[in-house]
């Protein structure tokens, strides 16, 4: 391989690498989340809940205690954005809540045109304090034996576009390495040739 060919291959590999490196990231929708502050409270106390972007904008979000079908502590209407947010607002912890780690769930009935929303129901952790406002040490998570929540894992296969982008990235990296190796080999060969040889 001549040095000119090696330089062209190296340049092409470098251009492919730069093109892949500067490509914009693929669209990744917001995943619904639930923020609970403070994350420790006693029975009957209020906590602030907030749902950053990632919810449907049509129906209200309900905050439930202990499970996705647990008692409703509050309801909040999302804003009008594509991946809507709601709150912040406050909810009161049930008076009969046992000390230990509990979860609050943000549930929402999604409209037919909101199939792009992911992560609902969202979950936020809360420690219910014992007598005197003290965390109960050694208390296991309350409700740990429940069945796993359905709908939290996306079951859609990887798209063809994603596979194609990964394949192009691997090919571009291979070209870049091959071009670099060819350039090094060409320089070594030209350095080893006598000054008068052509």
Q: What are residue 28's DSSP bridge partners?
A: none
How much is the pTM?
0.57
Q: Same domain for 90 and 40?
A: yes
Beta strands 122-128 and 40-41, pairing class:
parallel
Does residue 142 form part of some domain?
Answer: no
What pLDDT is attached to residue 117? 85
Query: Quick one: which of 150, 175, 131 has its CA closest to 13?
Result: 175
Whether a cis peptide bond, with omega within 30° of 0, leads into 38 is yes
What pLDDT is attached to residue 143? 46
Domain count within the chain: 2
Q: Same domain for 85 and 57?
A: yes
Cα three-residue angle 12-183-172, rounded to 5 degrees: 35
Q: For residue 47, count other CB atoms closer than 10 A to its CB.
A: 19
Does residue 129 form part of some domain?
Answer: yes
Q: What is the pLDDT along the chain (198 residues), one digit of tens a residue?
A: 566 776 777 677 666 666 666 655 555 557 889 999 999 999 999 999 999 888 999 999 999 999 999 999 999 999 988 888 999 999 999 999 999 999 999 999 988 988 888 888 999 999 999 876 666 655 554 444 444 444 444 445 566 777 777 888 888 888 888 877 777 777 777 766 665 555
Residue with tokens 């992911």: 118
Q: 69: domain range?
A: 35-133
């Amino acid at each position: 391989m001549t040095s000119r060919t090696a330089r062209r291959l190296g340049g092409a590999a470098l251009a492919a690498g730069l093109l892949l490196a500067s490509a914009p990231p693929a669209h990744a929708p917001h995943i619904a989340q639930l923020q609970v502050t403070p994350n420790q409270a006693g029975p009957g106390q209020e906590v602030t809940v907030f749902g950053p972007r990632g919810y449907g904008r049509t129906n209200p979000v309900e905050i439930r205690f202990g499970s996705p079908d647990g008692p409703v502590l509050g309801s909040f209407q999302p804003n009008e954005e594509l991946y809507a947010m709601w709150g912040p607002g406050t909810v009161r912890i049930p008076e009969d809540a046992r000390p230990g780690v509990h979860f609050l769930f943000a549930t929402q009935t999604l409209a037919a045109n909101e199939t792009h929303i992911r992560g609902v129901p969202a979950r936020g952790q809360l420690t219910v304090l014992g007598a005197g406002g003290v965390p109960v040490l050694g208390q296991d998570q309350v409700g740990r034996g429940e069945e796993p929540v359905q709908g939290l894992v996306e079951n859609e296969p990887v798209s063809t576009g994603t596979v194609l982008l990964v394949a192009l990235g691997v090919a571009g990296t291979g070209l870049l390495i091959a071009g670099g190796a060819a350039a090094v080999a060409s320089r070594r060969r030209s350095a080893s040739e006598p000054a008068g040889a052509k």
